[in-house]
Amino acid sequence: MPYQVPRVQVVPQADDQVAFQVDGQERLRWHTASRYPRPFFFPLLGPSGRSVIRMGHPAAPDHGHHRALWWGHQSIGGVNFWEERGGTQQIRQEDWVHYQDGPDEAAMVVKIGWFDTHKSKLMQQELVATCRPLANGETWLELQTTFTSSVDDLPLGKTNFGFLGLRVAASMSAHYGGGKLTGSDGSAGEKENFAKPRKWMDYSGPIVGEKVEGVTWFDHPANPRHPTFWHVRDDGWMSAAFCLNEAYTLKKEQPLRLRYGLHVHAWPVEGSMADARFQAFAKTPAWEVVKADRPWRVQLRRVEK
C-alpha cells in the first residue's frame, strides 16, 4: 500500500515550540523555551483562523502570567507556581516522550518537572495532548495529565488557582467584548457559575465581524472531585479549579490523573450538543504509553477495557 502523508501532524519548530497541524495548517502551538516561567499553549485557532485564546489580561498589566492556556498552581508544598515573580523557570519541560501523527488526530507526550526555589523537584507531570479536527473547521483538544509526587504526602493547598487556566480572546469575554459564560446546567454569567460544580463550562462570543466562536471545556467524570468547581470571570477567564473548595494530599504512590476535553466550535454553544459531546467523552478510555516496535520507541493508545 503506498505511503500516505498523515493529515494531522505534530511538527517541532524552532525555539522549543511544537505545532499541531491539519493539512499543513496550524491549529495549536506548544511553547517550552526556558525564557518562559512555564510551558503553555498559544494560539488555539477557531474555524475563522483567529485564536480563541489570548496572552495576558486585556486591562491588567500585572497579569502577564495569564499565558493563554497554561498549567500552574498557587500552592504546591507551600510553593507558588501560579504568579510569575521572576527568577528561574520552576515548571519546565524536561523531555518529550512521543509525537504521533495520524489521519484523524495527532498527539504529543511530554514530561514536565515542578521545581521549588532550591531546584528540588516536588512533582512530575506527564502530559498527553491530542488534537483532532472536526467538521466545519472545529477542533477537539484532549488533555490528559498525571501528577506524581517526588516526596511523601505533598500538600496541594486550597486555592482558586490551578491546575489549568484559560483566557479567551478579549472580544469573546463578557466584560470586554460581547461574549457569554454558560454552565452545563444552563446558568449564565460569572455570578451564577463562580465556585459552582459543573460538568462543562463554555465561553462563546464574537471573534471577527459577526462570526461567533467559543470553547467548551469538559471535566471527565473519572476525574477526582467530578464535577469540578469552576473559577470563572466575566473578563474572559475560566479554570477547572481542582482545589477551590479544599486542599488535596498527593501521595507518592498514588498519582493524580486529570482528563479534560476542549471543543473549539463555531456559533454560540448549544446545551444539548455539549451534553452529547460530554457523554461521548465520558465513554472514551484514557490514554496510555506503551512500548512499540520500530520505527517508534513507544506508542500512544487508548487503555483497553
Among residues 59, 72, 131, 76, the alpha carbon closest in space to that of 102 is found at 131
2: its cell numbers: 503506498
Task: Classify residue 147 as exposed, middle or buried by CB count within 10 Å of its CB (0-12, 13-18, 19+).
Answer: buried
Percent of the chain exceeding pLDDT 90 equals 89
Q: pLDDT by residue (tens digit) across 189-215?
A: 999 999 999 999 999 999 999 999 999
Can you give the pLDDT at residue 297? Answer: 83
pTM: 0.97
Partners of 199 in the β-ladder: none
pLDDT confidence bin for 304, thresholds 50/70/90: confident
Helix (H, G, I), strand (E, B) or coil at 37: coil
Domains of the chain, each with CATH number or no CATH: 8-302 (2.70.98)
CB 234 within 8 A of CB 173: yes
273 membership: H or E segment, kind and range: helix 271-282
Can you give the pLDDT at residue 46? Answer: 98
Q: Chain-wide mean pLDDT for the chain?
A: 95
Can you give the pLDDT at residue 241? Answer: 98
pLDDT confidence bin for 270, thresholds 50/70/90: very high
pLDDT confidence bin for 153, thresholds 50/70/90: very high
CB 83 within 8 A of CB 250: no
Q: Is the dihedral of CA 194, 195, 198, 200 positive or negative?
A: positive
Average pLDDT in the 156-172 region? 97
Partners of 95 in the β-ladder: 111
227: its cell numbers: 464535577
User: Lowest mean pLDDT: which of 28-32, 34-38, 142-146, 207-211?
Assistant: 34-38
Average pLDDT in the 41-56 region? 98
User: Lowest mean pLDDT: which of 13-17, 86-90, 238-242?
Assistant: 86-90
Give the other-Cβ count within 10 Å of 284's Cβ.
14
Count CA within 13 A, CB hemisphere, residue 39.
24
Count CA within 13 A, CB hemisphere, residue 202.
30
